[in-house]
Amino acid sequence: MIKKIFFLILFAPSIINCSGSNDNNVDIPVPNQPAEFTTKDATEAIDAFNLNFYNKDMQLYYTTSDKRGVAAIWTQAIYWDMVMNAYKRTKNEKYLKLIDDIYQGGYNKYDKYNWNNDVEWFIYDDIMWWVISLARAYEITKDQKYLDLSISGFKRVWEGSPVVGDTGSYDPVNGGMYWGWKDDQRGKTACINYPTVVAAMTLYNITKEPSYLNKAKEIFSWSQDKLFDAKDGKVGDHKYKEEPTNWTTQVYNQATCIGAAVMLYKETGDKMYLNDAILATDYTKNTMSGKDGILPFKTGIEQGIYTAIFAQYVIRLIEDCNQPQYNEWLRYNINKGWANKDKRNLTYKNFNVPCPTGILEVYDVSGCPALMQVISPK
């Protein structure tokens, strides 16, 4: 409910911002000396994350480390991605079981993934994050239920729902994807447009259905025209009607732009996509990060998760496009964050400071363990 109220306020016509705008990117002296992290550390990090935040009964993640609340619906898909990455890294069966358990938790909590329930699924991007993760779960397990739900979720976002009464996120006249179906949600945000490209390409890679590829190309083209600064690689937060693009930057918007570009490059071989992915990554590293190279973070509602999303997509540029030049930078971030872990092996969104003691929010401790599942030790 917090996110819903937050976004309804946020989407006043001239102040649309998919994720808030409170910067807290400060450089603070590091009291703990970093060392090179290991594969054992990566496992300890994800296990500590799950120990402190995973609700075994609900099979979803708590909001806080004192085991209260339920984390926001869209972020549950990101934590699910982290578990999938832990399984791909380790091949440990406990993570494979957790993949199915988390699916079941979402099934029970979110009306059996009934995309027509506009109380549970009240915004398009909430659905699309799950569409992507469901498709990834299918790629790992080949369990048809994941693919069926991913396909139906994508269709619901693109075309709308006769039950809800909306006409879909896609704008066939002016292009791009709307953030929501209500009057105060009709901005076109990066957080729905680039994930739509990622979802379409993931489904295309599975099904080889040409319409997914065509949709991905179209939405990416619109996004690069309206939301991407081709001079420096900056991704804008949103475009509302005829108003100028809002150029507030968010790490997760940089991330999904990178992921979308990489997937299109892999399929088409068109260097334009690769160049955009590199430009967006360089902007994140050289402009958005602190002067010492530490990834930025924000302090708004649910914003601590942005680095976890960045991890998901920057690794695709590194591995799928042979761009290893980013490994040293990301290992440096991991080493800083891990050196500042607490006694619970939890890390904080500001990698430059010791993890605060006491109660922590799940969003704020996800970044370092997410990076550790995909970036290999030196």
**pLDDT > 70 in the chain, percent:** 92
pLDDT at position 31, please?
55
Average pLDDT over residues 346-373: 97
C-alpha of 358 from chain center: 26
CA separation for the pair 152, 269 (Å, rounded): 29
Indicate if the pLDDT at residue 4 is higher than 80. no
pLDDT at position 249, please?
98
SS3 at position 361:
strand
CA separation for the pair 114, 120 (Å, rounded): 9
Question: For 136-142, which contacts have Cβ atoms below 8 Å and span 24 or more sequence positions?
Answer: 136/81, 136/84, 136/202, 137/80, 137/84, 137/99, 137/103, 138/206, 139/202, 139/205, 139/206, 140/84, 140/87, 140/88, 140/96, 140/99, 141/96, 141/99, 141/100
pLDDT at position 20, please?
38
Indicate if the pLDDT at residue 29 is higher than 80. no
Q: Please, what's the b/e burial string for 157-187 (b: 16 or more CB within 10 A of its CB; e: otherwise)?
A: bbebbeeeebebbbeeeebbbbbbbeeebbb
Each residue's pLDDT tens digit, 40-63: 999 999 999 999 999 999 999 999
**pLDDT > 90 in the chain, percent:** 89
Which residue, chain included where needed, has tokens 């450089």? 27
Half-sphere exposure of 170 (CA within 13 A, CB side): 17
Indicate if the pLDDT at residue 346 is higher than 70. yes
Each residue's pLDDT tens digit, 164-201: 999 999 999 999 999 999 988 889 999 999 999 999 99
Contact 40/338 with Cβ under 8 angstroms?
A: no
pLDDT at position 12, please?
38
Average pLDDT over residues 343-366: 97
pLDDT at position 183, please?
86
pLDDT at position 184, please?
84
Indicate if the pLDDT at residue 353 is higher than 80. yes
Average per-residue pLDDT for the chain: 93
Each residue's pLDDT tens digit, 237-273: 999 999 999 999 999 999 999 999 999 999 999 999 9
Each residue's pLDDT tens digit, 85-122: 999 999 999 999 999 999 999 999 999 999 999 999 99
Which residue, chain included where needed, has tokens 């290893």? 324
pLDDT at position 34, please?
83
Average pLDDT over residues 274-296: 97
Q: How many residues does the chain have?
A: 378
pLDDT at position 33, please?
78
CA separation for the pair 139, 316 (Å, rounded): 15
C-alpha of 223 from chain center: 17
